[in-house]
């Protein structure tokens, strides 16, 4: 199975191929959902790679569409306007209740 990745003008399209381990962990529906995320342009190729790292190293035997939705929404929400992840540091005086 391959996952489409975006291309720039004048560049040939590239494909990301799932390895045997990734295919064994992802359900068929989850593999299809990954293709739709990549093909829709909702996520960049680097975000797809981050997503793959997050979901393939989970403690679950099988990764479902719902697992991918949670991980993908987390990645998308971490973006800022300039495209870099938003990191929030707390001062030592800050407390969490």
**Which structural domain, as residue segments, surrounds residue 51?**
20-87
Q: Is residue 12 part of a domain?
A: no
Q: Is residue 10 part of a domain?
A: no
What domain count does the chain have?
Answer: 1
Q: How far apart are the first and last CA of the chain?
A: 45
Q: What is the pLDDT at residue 91?
A: 53
Q: Is residue 69 part of a domain?
A: yes
Q: Is residue 60 part of a domain?
A: yes
pTM for the model: 0.66
Q: What is the pLDDT at residue 54?
A: 87
Residues of the chain with pLDDT under 70: 1-14, 80-97
Q: Is residue 7 part of a domain?
A: no
Q: Is residue 13 part of a domain?
A: no
Contact 28, 58 (CB under 8 A): no
Q: What is the per-residue pLDDT across 23-44, written as a single tens digit (0 to 9) for each?
A: 999 999 999 998 888 888 888 8
Contact 38, 5 (CB under 8 A): yes
Q: Is residue 33 part of a domain?
A: yes
């Amino acid at each position: 199975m391959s996952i489409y990745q975006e291309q720039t003008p004048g560049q040939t399209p590239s494909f990301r191929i799932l390895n045997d381990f990734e295919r064994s962990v992802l359900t068929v529906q989850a593999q299809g959902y990954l293709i739709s995320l990549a093909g829709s342009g909702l996520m960049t190729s680097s975000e797809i790679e981050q997503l793959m790292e997050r979901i393939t190293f989970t403690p679950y035997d099988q990764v479902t569409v719902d697992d991918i939705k949670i991980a993908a929404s987390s990645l998308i929400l971490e973006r800022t306007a300039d495209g870099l992840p938003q990191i929030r540091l707390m001062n030592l005086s800050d407390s969490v209740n």
